[in-house]
Structures are given as structure tokens and as C-alpha cells.
Amino acid sequence: MKIPKKVVDRFSSNIKNYQNLTQLQKSRDVSEADTVTLVKDMLADMFGYDKYLELTSEQQIRGTYCDLAVKFDGKIKYLIEVKAAGIDLNDSHLRQAINYGSNQGIEWVVLTNSVDWKLYRIKFGQPIDFEEVTSFNISLLNSKNDEDIKKLFLLCKEGLDAGAMGEYHQQVQIFNKYTVAQVLMMEQSISMIRREFKKLFPEIKIDNNDVMDLLVNDVLKRGVIEGDKAKEVQQRIKKAINKLNRNAEKNSAKKNTQTNNANENSTQGEEIAS
């Protein structure tokens, strides 16, 4: 993600002030209403929204109102469920935020108490599911740290315009410990490891099964090769391989067609010449 300099400057000029304010509000154990006011100020000053045109607290969902909704280009981009600054966020608060988003058909929801911020993506299926995309504690952020700036950028107006949430989500979905583990266990990777061993230590006799057993039993943690996350990654890799194979078949068929056409043209040219 390329983050505009004006956005980085805006973060830098406001982050210290809001680190102090959020800690003050937390220590005073202010009400939820006061925390909502603080969050709206943060969304305006740090994240670049017009608090009168792009932030609303009147988004009705099944007879109740969510705390805040971020509107951009006339559409709700994400919902924000706010809890009082002195309250620790818990699973009950998360379920409330997810319910709001799923009932409204909104993919992205944020849960915050002004100090802790958590971004979730709702997966609309049977049943409804969700996953945490990122989280941060405002008091621990460093305006000179690239990863901290990236997390803030996801929620800001310019980030929405650039599709940063979707891009970041795709990145964390693919580039993670589960994917690396599955890639390491692919036949091509196992063969590469065995070849490198043979090159470095020609006196050692090993085959692919030896390498696989070592990876599964001693190198990789059980948690990254088993369970739902590992299965999701296996399916994702399978789809990627199938896509590569389909593209290869299309390119091969296209190349064959071009070759046949060239041969036909050459034959026709020879017949005309004769």
C-alpha cells in the first residue's frame, strides 16, 4: 500500500494528542457516550473524515442504532461499535458488532473503546462467520513505524478510497504461517530441500519421505498443519494450482493455434508460388 505523505503527516501530528486523551478518558472511566464523541474526533482529525457528512450515529439496525457508521461515496463502508474507554473489549461486544454488520449486509466492522481498535471482516455464508483482520492499541502506536501506519491507513478515508482493507486482508490471508507451512510440504519444495541437502552433504542418503517426516514431526508446529485454518489454506492453494493449470492449458492451446495458423499460411503461400 502506498500511503500519501499528507496522510502520514496527519497521523504524526495527531497521534500523540490522542494517545494522551484516550488514556485520560480511560483513567476517568468516562461513559460510552463520551467515548463515542472522542472516537468521532479521532475519525475526523486522524482518519480524515468529515464528522458531519461522513460519520453517522443514526444507522438503524433492527430497531436499534449502531454507535457509528462511516459513509463514503454515499455508501456505508464500515460500522463501528464503541464501548466505554474504561471497559475491556470482550466476546459479547464482538458478537454485537458482528450482528449489526451481518444484519445490515456490511462486510467490515470495527470494535473499539477508543484505546483498542479491532477490524473484522464478516463472511456471509451459512452460518455467518467472521475473522479478525488487524488490531492495534492506540497508546502503543509509533508514527514512525511502517506497520503501525499501515494499520491506521486501513481505517482512514484515503485508505477506503484505495481499497486498502481488501488488499491488506488478502495479504494476511495468503502470507501467513499456515500458507508457508503448506508450501513447504508441497512436493516441489520437498524435492528442493532434498537436492540442497545432497549438494551440501553428499555423504548423507535421504529421500523425499525422510524430508517430509522431519518437517511434519520436528520442524513445523502441529497447529500450523492441522485444523480449520490449515484446511482453508489447503483449499486456497488447490484453487491457485488449478488456476495456474488452466492458464497453462489456455496458453498452450493459443500457442498451438498460432502455430497451426502460421503453418497454414506458409502452405498457402507455397501453393500460390507454385
Cell triple for 25: 478518558
Query: One digit per residue, pLDDT tens: the chain, 274 residues?
Result: 789 999 999 999 999 999 999 999 999 999 999 999 999 999 999 999 999 999 988 665 555 667 899 988 888 999 999 999 999 999 999 998 898 888 888 999 999 999 999 999 998 888 888 999 999 999 999 989 999 999 999 999 999 988 999 998 888 888 889 899 999 999 999 999 999 999 999 998 999 999 999 999 999 998 899 988 888 888 888 888 898 888 888 888 878 777 777 666 666 666 565 5
pTM, two decimals, is: 0.75
42 touches 25 (CB < 8 A):
no
Say if CB 16 and CB 70 are below 8 A apart: no
Give the integer Cα–Cα distance in Å for 110 and 155. 9
Q: Structural domains in the chain?
A: 5-172 (3.90.1570), 177-273 (no CATH)
Cβ 66 vs Cβ 95: under 8 Å: no
- Distance between CA atoms of residues 191 and 199, nearest Å: 12
